[in-house]
Amino acid sequence: MWTYEILVPVGIVVGIGLVLGLVLAIAAIIFHVPVDERIEEVIEVLPGANCGACGYSGCSGYATALCEGSAENGLCAPGGAEVVQKISEVLGGGAVTIVPKVAMVHCNGTPQHTTKKMEYNGIPSCSAAAMMSGGAQTCQYGCLGFGDCVNVCEYDAIHIVNSVAVVQPEKCTACTMCIKECPKSLIRLVTLKEQATVRCNNQDKGALANKVCKVSCIACMKCVKACEFDAIKIENNRAVINPDKCTACGACVAVCPKDCITLYASEPRSITA
């Protein structure tokens, strides 16, 4: 038989459990946060790449932000127009127009255009080479050519051609993985449209830039003066073109003495590695 000494402690424990359970139940009701069922629907629509190109912590983070109204639709580069439209339908919106973007390497420092300041025999990695006095090239801003960007690209959209990384726009999804991997910050997203682009990232003053690379921007201002649309500015000793203002008239390309400005639409669309 149960003795008094056993029943009392058991009763106390059971009573405490019931009270705590009741408190937790009341707290759950009071502090209940409604779950937006659309979040799971949006996650199902997203490609699941979790690349971070949208600026959020993976697809779930972006889906939550979309449903909360704190993020814009159209930031999922890998998903493209189809995913954007499906998200719009889930969120109850109409048609959405997005401007496609593509990764571009802002360097043309091939062996024909630049030289080496030393021989590098270390780990064949851009990140490793960059830690050795900025790399073997005389231009400290140039492509190191070991292909760290190639290794992280899941779409076979970037290759090393003549010691410089080159993006194949037809395959690029603008996932930004190559951008994050480049230790020189040479790769940036640009609008996929006909436009003039500066294929140089050198920020040295003109004399030094000219010394380290034959096709480096020397901030001579000729392109700025030739542009009738105020699309070009000099920033950090380098010409920078605003794609929203650029009309691809080609005036800047014609006057550039270093041939570092090219018309994007006129460039080859395929790569021979």
- The whole-number pLDDT of residue 29 equals 74
Q: How confident is the model at residue 30 (pLDDT cuts 50, 70, 90)?
A: confident
- Tell me the torsion sign for CA atoms 199, 203, 207, 213: negative
- Same domain, yes or no, for 67 and 122? no
- The whole-number pLDDT of residue 270 equals 38
CATH (domain of 135): 3.30.70.20
14 within some domain: no
254 within some domain: yes
232 within some domain: yes
- The whole-number pLDDT of residue 15 equals 81
- Note the Cα 31 to chain centre separation in Å: 38
b/e 33-61 (16+ beta carbons within 10 angstroms → b): eeeeebbebbbebbbebbbbbbebeebbe
Q: Can you tell me the mean pLDDT for 154-175? A: 92
271 within some domain: no
- Same domain, yes or no, for 118 and 85? no
- Same domain, yes or no, for 128 and 232? yes
- Same domain, yes or no, for 168 and 48? no
d(Cα 219, Cα 266) in Å, to the nearest integer?
Answer: 24
- Same domain, yes or no, for 255 and 141? yes
Domain final residue, candidates 23, 55, 90: 90
- Same domain, yes or no, for 79 and 209? no
Output the CA angle 207-212-218, nearest 5 degrees.
40
272 within some domain: no
Q: How confident is the model at residue 109 (pLDDT cuts 50, 70, 90)?
A: very high
pTM of the complete model beyond 0.85: no
- Same domain, yes or no, for 113 and 74? no
Contact criterion met (CB below 8 Å) for 258 and 215 = yes
Convert the pLDDT of each residue in 189-228 to its tens digit.
888 889 999 999 999 999 999 999 999 999 999 999 999 9
H helix intervals, the chain: 4-30, 38-45, 58-68, 80-90, 126-130, 148-152, 177-181, 206-212, 222-226, 251-255
DSSP-derived secondary structure letter, 150: H
CATH (domain of 57): 1.10.15
d(Cα 87, Cα 33) in Å, to the nearest integer?
Answer: 23
Instruction: For residue 56, give its domain range.
Output: 38-90
> How many other CB atoms are found less than 10 A from the CB of residue 16?
10
Convert the pLDDT of each residue in 59-103 to its tens digit.
999 988 888 888 888 788 777 778 888 888 888 876 666 667 889
Q: Name the average pLDDT for the chain.
A: 87
Domain final residue, candidates 69, 90, 111: 90
Number of domains in the chain: 2
Domain final residue, candidates 53, 68, 90: 90
- Same domain, yes or no, for 202 and 106? yes
* Cβ-based neighbours of 246, under 8 Å, separated by 6 or more: 195, 196, 229, 231
Which tokens belong to 270? 């395929």
- Same domain, yes or no, for 254 and 140? yes
- Same domain, yes or no, for 83 and 120? no
H helix intervals, 121-205: 126-130, 148-152, 177-181
Sort 250 into a burial class: Cβ within 10 Å, 0-12 / 13-18 / 19+.
Answer: middle
Which backbone phi and psi does 236 adopt, to 5 degrees? 50, 45
- Same domain, yes or no, for 113 and 233? yes
> How many other CB atoms are found less than 10 A from the CB of residue 91?
15
16 within some domain: no
Q: Output the 3-class SS for 59-77.
A: HHHHHHHHHHCCCCCCCCC
211 within some domain: yes
- Same domain, yes or no, for 120 and 81? no
- Between 172 and 3, the more confident residue is 172
